[in-house]
Structure 1
Amino acid sequence: MLSLGRISAQDEISIYSNDDQIKLSAVAEIGFLGVLDHKIQFGQNGTYLNYVKEGGQNTLFPVTRLSLELEFKKKNTFVFLYQPLTIKTTALLSEDLIVDNLTYPAGSGVDFLYNFPFYRLSYMRELLSDNEKYSFGIGGTIQIRNATISFESTDGERFRTNTDIGIVPALKIRGRSNFTDRFYGEIEADGIYAPVSYLNGSTNEIVGAILDASVRAGYKIENHVNTFLNVRYLGGGAVGTSSDDSGPGDGYTRNWLHFITVSTGFVYEF
């Protein structure tokens, strides 16, 4: 359902109305991603593949994040976020790999594609709008995943791919503490754990979860420029059988991931 550094940069453009009621921000972030744990299975008789040990996900990967934020009257914040997430690896199999009834024999090479970008629209209500030192917002998120997961033998003889578009609602919180007039810290999280049928009304008996949680330390260089260090946990997954699967497998999927990203960057206000 998710549908978990290299250096990161965040650019923010702020536009205020004359009465200071509206603030518009454009945000860009770039960093690196490490895979703590990632396992996947397609088909009831399929291999429960450990991507880190068997699929080449034991290195660091670049990651970027883009978003727009609209703040209204200091109490309402709307966020539109796009998170590209593509991991391509090649590995030599130490044992047979079965994906949707297709066997990739031990000793053969496989190109793995895990492409799981998502879009996210969020709303938060600020609970401490009159507090100069602390802020805390709570609200909800709608996430749209656009997944493509592929397995191709390096000789081109064997191929399996699974694609999926899905909508997942989640809860969202964000907090900030201004330690001094220059140093500040932030926390942010989007997450939920629930049956898919309960979330979107489908008949699929699938249980899934997402959690995107980050901690940030920032420093205000001057009125319009901040710098920061950000650490993020990105995790989740799903397990169950989809009734919409057209084959060649039986529709069973088990996919759980735990990623971490580290980034550093800047905030610009104009």
Structure 2
Amino acid sequence: MTSRPHRRPSLFARLPYWLLAILLLFVIGLWAITANQTYADIFRTLSGGVLTTLWVTFVAFIAATLLGLLVALARTSPIRVLREIATFYVEIIRGIPILVFLFYIAFVAAPAMVAGFNWFFAPLIEWGLLPQASVRGFDFVWRAIFALTICYSAFIAEIFRAGIEAVGRGQIEAARSLGLSRFHCFRFIIFPQALRTILPPLGNDFVSMVKDSALVSALGVQDITLLGKLSASSSFLFFETYNVVAFLYLTMTISLSLLVRWLERVMDTRMRT
């Protein structure tokens, strides 16, 4: 009795059902925006907030990643003072809600920074070499970026620390015995191996920041959430407006999640080869 040849399942059969359901929702949302004039008008109104949301997210995430890496290096430093300061920073920042920290940066830290700038450069300001800074000149978009940077740097620092400590101490000692400096040891030995551990949670934090960027609407930043709130308040089309708001956020977050999964598979393939 001959066995039937094994057939490879089709691409449609291999797609996960949750992804098919999301694609169906995306098609329905896109159809509603293109076929319904009310949804089309709302989408046109909110589309300006997409750029603001992406701008705030990308700038804050890049800055938070760099700051988080520095904090993680301090937490894993052999110098105790650096470890204690970095640990204090992480524990304090992670214990404050993001919305509270946004208000604190916007209405407490920003005026203090402006006052400190004017005090430190007072001679140059008196001589006319520098203009006097004002709180009104400190744009709320940059206050929001600064707040998100500090908040997420504490969480990203823990991600980097976990990835660095996952690398075996024997490899680090072997690299040091071969004459590599601490910088080259980190660049060629620690970071390439830690990146595989770091990437998934780092991608999740990026997706989370896209969602948490909606909190900047509390400061009057004209992102998707604020424009949706203003549009719904003026038209009373709350159902239609927040459907479009949810559609825009889902499109961005799901796309980024799929991109992170693809990067994980690429890195796994390269590590195995």
TM-score (norm 1): 0.22
Q: Rg: which structure is higher?
A: 2
TM-score, with length taken from structure 2? 0.22
